[in-house]
Structure 1
Amino acid sequence: MVTTQASELADKITEPYPIRNATLLKDSRGYTTFRVVNIIVLFLIMFVTLYPFINIVAQSFSSEGFINSGQVNLYPRGFNVETYKTVMADSMFWTNYRNTVVYTVVGTVIALVMTTMFAYALSKKHLKGRNGFILIAVFTMFFNGGLIPNYVLINALGFKNTLWAIVIPNAISIFNLLVMKAFFENMPEELEEAAAIDGLSTYGTLFRIVLPLSKAVIATMTLFYAVSFWNSWFAAFLYMDKRELYPVTVYLRNLIKGAETATSVGGAGAEVSAVAANIQSVTMVLTVLPIIMLYPFIQKYFVSGVMLGAVKG
């Protein structure tokens, strides 16, 4: 009898608890209002962010009359590709474009190596003179030698009209250095201690332990440096005298100035006028397009890389 009752009690305990009068929780009126307003605000922000770029693309394919009269907004008016033809038919454009790719790739690689090494060293609190190195690095964020001393230095080093005039002076960004330093400081010390016990040297720990765990911040720094070198034009304009060594940004800058001069002088032909009308839009599209194509591949690392390097754990 007792066994039967215990069995029945056990069956009741193990049975699913009966759900009676189950109802779905509904969002409150305030929360529903918040969600609607939030969606509307996000759409407005997205539109405000995208509108300038869409407008530039539309202008790059529009004709002179519609651009000058301000009738181009979100789509081209009087479809025109003369400027694209003029720019892309020039062999010097492709030469300078190739130069930009080379300068960007080489500069980004060198900058990543130097920034990573320096940041990893500064992240070690037992480093002798650590505070002095940090002070020197931060000092350069606010003070520099000036334009003329930099030009004299680059010329004296023999860097003029070479790749190194663009790459070496911009090899380390102090902002990027501080972000990577903070990222390395937040990594667990136990990982490096275990690596040292296993016999790894400092460089072995860096390359086999630290860097594989730093993909997010490395991808973020790659984007920062690549954009910086890609958009750079003043260093090449200052230190290079040969057209075949210019990056594409200097080429497009000279093209804009030439079109503006031809228009201001007067008597320009119809083709020159059409080119001058939307040359700025075309140059912006051609310059920013490669970076836009690169960004989606490293976007997933971008936010996490910045946050992990900037927030103290």
Structure 2
Amino acid sequence: MSGIKPTTSERVFDVANIVFLIFLSLMFVIPFLAVLSTSFISAEESMRRGAFVLIPERLDFAAYDVLLNRGKIILNAYQVTIFRVVVGTILNLLFTSMLAYGLARRSLPGRNGLVLFIFLTMIFQGGLIPNYMLMDTLGLKDTLWVLILPSLISAWNLFILRNFFMGLPEELEESAVIDGATPLLILFKIVIPLSMPAMATIGLFYAVHHWNDWFGASIYINDVNKMPVQVIMRNILLTGITQNEAQLEYVRNPPPAATLKSAVIMISTLPILFVYPFLQKYFVKGVMVGSIKG
């Protein structure tokens, strides 16, 4: 154990650093707590204390009752979103890993040309109208697959995963080839198990994208029963109502607009926040390794 005592300047720096970090943490935590608390205030308390409060006098679950128990529209939207996140993320990881593995092989003919072509898609895009016409021609419009297939492979995530694959020792694959392993067997039995930090990182990127995205559904989906929760929540935030109020039962004492909107924010935010702590260590390691390998 070191017997060197910190100097006065080092102590001052440590105290200032702690105070700054506490202040920075409060800047993020207090708004979140304010929204959480506001989602539990009643109409009577809102009239007395204002729209946003930090500590409610009593918990009122009327806003959550309206959103979750007064009809099937919100629960149905959650089912659509969960299907999109789970199925979409699995397909994203499957196709992204297969393409990244192929592009990571230095023996692939025309590899540099393919990488350049994929890189150009990050800069130039076809535009909204051509994409809409394409989805309509392919018969994907107003289906759940239109929320998944157009974003099946992200060029940015592809390059991160490709760089990670390129950092793996080639001797592992050479020994597997000598033992008679096929490229698919090498990918799923050797490469992917060794790349779990990067896979978890890319999977988190894809899952957050699917959970937060509302624009694609608002463009390609007209059936309210196929809309994800983000579109329904966005409509409530903007107008205070859903696109189909008939699916909500009558509420005698409706919650205030600020309370309803705060509850919408919490319902749409908390599920994805609970996933991040379990993937945090893989997330940090995967981003760092994928960024320095090349």
TM over 0.5: yes
Deviations 1:80-124 (A, max 9, x none): 322111111221211111111001111101111111111111112
Give the whole-Å Cα distance in 2 for the aligned partners of 1:67 and 1:307.
46
Deviations 1:3-31 (A, max 9, x none): xxxxxxxxxxxxxxxxxxx9933223333
Give the whole-Å Cα distance in 2 for the aligned partners of 1:300 and 1:234.
31
CA RMSD, aligned part only?
Answer: 2.4
Tell me what 2:246 maps to: none
1:239 to 220, 227, 235: 220
Question: Where in structure 1 are there 5+ consecutive unaligned residues?
Answer: 1-21, 262-268
1:271 to 253, 273, 294: 253
Tell me what 2:245 maps to: none
Give the whole-Å Cα distance in 1 for the aligned partners of 2:288 and 2:45.
45
Matching of residues 94-243 of structure 1 within 5 Å: 94-243=75-224
Q: Which structure is larger by alpha-carbon Rg, 1 or 2? A: 1
The list of structure 1 runs, each at least 4 consecutive aligned residues, that deviate by more than 6 angstroms after superposition, is none
Give the whole-Å Cα distance in 2 for the aligned partners of 1:230 and 1:102.
10
* C-alpha deviation, 1:70, in angstroms: 4.9
Give the whole-Å Cα distance in 2 for the aligned partners of 1:23 and 1:277.
55
Distance change (3 Å), C-alpha of 1:173 and 1:70: farther
Q: Aligned pair count?
A: 284
1:45 to 12, 24, 33: 24
Distance change (3 Å), C-alpha of 1:173 and 1:77: farther
Percentage of identical aligned residues = 40
Tell me what 2:236 maps to: 255
Amino acid across the alignment from 2:101: Y
CA contact 1:115–1:177 (8 Å) conserved in 2? yes
Question: Where in structure 2 are there 5+ consecutive unaligned residues?
Answer: 243-250
Query: TM-score, length-normalised on structure 2?
Result: 0.88
Q: Which of the pair has the greater relative contact order for Cα pairs under 8 Å at 6+ separation? A: 2
After TM superposition, the structure 1 stretch with the greater mean CA deviation from structure 2, 22-31 or 162-171, is: 22-31
Query: TM-score, length-normalised on structure 1?
Result: 0.83
